[in-house]
Amino acid sequence: MRYVISGTHEASSSLPNEIKFIENYIDLMKLRLTDKVTVNFRRPENAANLEIQPMLLQPFVENAFKHGAIKDGFLRVKITLLLRDNEFEFRVTNSSKANEEEGSKEGIGLENIKRRLEHHYKNQYTLSIE
């Protein structure tokens, strides 16, 4: 909570700070969901110098838990963050609720992310939501 309240007012945040926030959120979800969640979080080792918009990644992680489905006894979440040359790739997948109407609606969180991406990274990003 402290990070959300006080750490997101800056124009940018270091990627290690954003990764730490994601790790803390994952730990919280593991406590909440106990043994019903498996998370695979792959992160880069060379992220120290990268600055991004604060809280840009978090909504995708939250949505993976919020909109995921327990299949075969587990909610599976996979988060991959890759850095190559001048490219940054962030991918989040989950064991989703297939063929449910809820999955086809986009909420305000994703719309806000799209606006922020366009405002701060105009013509320098690709966003794909499946």
- Residue-wise pLDDT tens digits, 47-56: 777 889 998 9
pLDDT surpasses 60 at 9: no
Q: Tens of pLDDT along 77-96?
A: 999 999 888 788 999 999 87
| Alpha-carbon span 105 to 125, nearest angstrom | 22
Is 125 strand, coil or helix?
Answer: coil
Residue ranges of the alpha helices (H) in 34-100?
A: 58-66
Q: Are 13 and 3 in contact (CB under 8 A)?
A: no
pTM: 0.84
Phi then psi dihedrals of residue 82, to 5 deg: -120, 145
